[in-house]
Amino acid sequence: MSKTFLTSSKTYFTSESVTEGHPDKMCDQISDAILDACLKQDPYSRVACECATKTGFVVVMGEITTNANINFDELIRKVVLDIGYDDSSKSFDGNTCAVQVAISKQSTDISMGVDNALEKRDSDKKDDIEKIGAGDQGMMFGFACDETPEYMPMPIYLSHLLTKQLAKIRKEKKLKWIYPDGKSQVTVEYHKGKPTRVDTLLVSTQHSTEVSHKDIEKGIKKYVIDKVIPKELIDSKTKIYVNPTGRFVIGGPKGDAGVTGRKIIVDTYGGMSRHGGGAFSGKDCTKVDRSAAYMTRYIAKNIVASGLASRCEIQVSYAIGVAKPLSIMVDTFGTGKISDEKISKIIDKVFDLRPGAIIRDLDLRKPIFQQVASYGHFGRDDLDLLWERLDKVSEIKEISKQKSF
């Protein structure tokens, strides 16, 4: 995010979302369904599960160390069928698709650093906070802003509303010609960093061959756009596009190959915040790509909710096998009521960013991950996610008021 975004009299920002029937999202859900199945039987499972799909087949590969007994074929087909791919007329059928599995155990070189962090390699406790080292090197970002009640940027928030509504009316069969694959895109106009109106709305949905383009436009506007986009954000200049190519019959893995982790911007903040590059789905909580990204969101959201800034981005970095973060960075983009340096000190007092502490505080050994594999991992007011809590606001406010601080 540039400084001109917060100072310019008029700027535009665009974000997108996809439905659970999008081939990349289908892979994310399969990877996280496998993770959840492992955690349900063995909370200490180590999972790094990738998925790929194309016409008529699904391939699952990765490294899993677990005491769980998983029927991969049955589980994968259930995910595909639950998404809605249950007939070849929809370009994919979970009943008849081929399923291939290539899974090995986690590398002993990796597990050595995770099991015994550099700081505490003489500990014999199985899940001691200091014992768990980061599962990989890397940097992660968390973000929050006051544009919406969910502390999310408005473009991605509205984009998710559209795709969730598109899936809802498909499952309720209000528009029987809608098929599982779909996308949305929203461009919001900003004045000095504040959202003022929706400039452009785009919805694309896979559909049956029987429906006309005119009926698609009419149905999507009535049952999707008009239902979820606030009327005050739309004016006579708002541009609305529905299936702009005119036809979207071939969808899902037949229309485009799918791969786990290819929708990382959809999963996070729609591009409004920086991204460390690591995907989430299919990774257990010892992988800081996931757990630290959740923790930094938790921190940023509590900072903004406490009133210390209207926008806040947190970066944290790790070394494999080391528990303590290598660096922590705070950027409030000039919106902070106190300096970013002081906010950093507050974070150090309130939050523990060691992987073991993150796992404990966010309760990440539970099978909770498939539910966030579609429609974003953050800002989910429809789910009870511990990283979306605002339980540190009072403590943050209290520390910020201390004279000695």
Q: Which of 256, 340, 352, 395 is catalytic?
A: 256
Residue 239: active-site member: no
Q: Which of 46, 160, 287, 290 is catalytic?
A: 287
DSSP-derived 3-state class of residue 329: strand
Helix, strand, coil percentages in the chain from 3-state DSSP, rounded to 5: 35, 25, 40
Closest residue by Cα to residue 182 from 197, 199, 163, 198: 163
Residue 287: active-site member: yes
Q: Which of 20, 24, 32, 147 is catalytic?
A: 24
Residue 305: active-site member: no
Q: How far apart are the first and last CA of the chain?
A: 29
Residue 274: active-site member: no
User: Using CA atoms, how far apart are residues 223 and 313, in angstroms rounded to an integer?
Assistant: 35
Distances in Å between the alpha carbon of 357 and those of 276, 285, 288, 344, 345?
21, 11, 12, 18, 18
Which run of H or of E encompasses 108?
Answer: helix 108-115
Which run of H or of E encompasses 30?
Answer: helix 23-41
User: Using CA atoms, how far apart are residues 16 and 203, in angstroms rounded to an integer?
Assistant: 10
Count CB atoms within 10 A of the CB of residue 284.
27
Q: Are 142 and 314 in contact (CB under 8 A)?
A: yes
DSSP-derived 3-state class of residue 350: helix
Residue 287 burial (C-beta neighbours within 10 Å; 0-12, 13-18, 19+): buried
Q: Six-digit token pair at 109?
A: 């070189």
Q: Which of 160, 183, 297, 354 is catalytic?
A: 183
Q: Which of 42, 54, 63, 119 is catalytic?
A: 63
Say if strands 194-207 and 239-242 run parallel, antiparallel, or are unpaired. parallel
Residue 130: active-site member: no
Residue 257: active-site member: yes
Residue 235: active-site member: no
Q: Which amino acid is at 285?
A: C
Q: Which of 92, 143, 248, 351 is catalytic?
A: 248
Residue 194: active-site member: no
**Torsion angles phi and psi, residue 315, rounded to 5:** -115, 140
Residue 378: active-site member: no
Residue 248: active-site member: yes
Q: Which of 25, 164, 254, 392 is catalytic?
A: 25
Residue 289: active-site member: yes
- Strands, DSSP E only, in 130-244? 138-145, 178-191, 194-207, 239-242
β-partners of residue 58 are 53, 99
Q: Which of 42, 93, 217, 257 is catalytic?
A: 257
User: Using CA atoms, how far apart are residues 139 and 135, in angstroms rounded to an integer?
Assistant: 12
Residue 256: active-site member: yes
Residue 183: active-site member: yes
Q: Which of 283, 290, 297, 392 is catalytic?
A: 283
Q: Which of 90, 160, 262, 290 is catalytic?
A: 262
| Residues marked as catalytic | 22, 24-25, 50, 63, 183, 248, 256-257, 262-263, 283, 287, 289
